[in-house]
Amino acid sequence: MGKGNTKGRYICKVGFYDIYAKDSMKSGRESHQVKSTEYVIYHSKKMIEKGFKTKDLAVAKATQLMEKHLVKA
């Protein structure tokens, strides 16, 4: 039996950053409904930034972080 995924659902890759979506479920017996979704930016196993409400905001921030690394010429 494997370990559980605590990062959430994998969404996409921006450079060497990965975007994951972590869902919060509604409490209740048999309701498997998503209450809210938070998007998180990871580099390898290290969380870089969290708290994004949409995928587009997370991708924009990851792109901005990538530009910092590419400018160092």
**Residue 3 placed within a domain:** no
**Residue 36 placed within a domain:** yes
CA dihedral 3, 56, 52, 45 (to 10 degrees): 30
Predicted local distance difference test score (pLDDT) of residue 25? 85
What does pTM read for this prediction?
A: 0.83
Assess contact for 54 and 45: CB atoms under 8 A: no
Per-residue pLDDT tens over the stretch 64-73: 999 887 765 5
Question: Rounded mean pLDDT of the chain?
Answer: 88
Number of domains in the chain: 1
pLDDT at 1 over 70: no
The residue range of the domain holding 39 is: 9-71
Assess contact for 49 and 28: CB atoms under 8 A: no
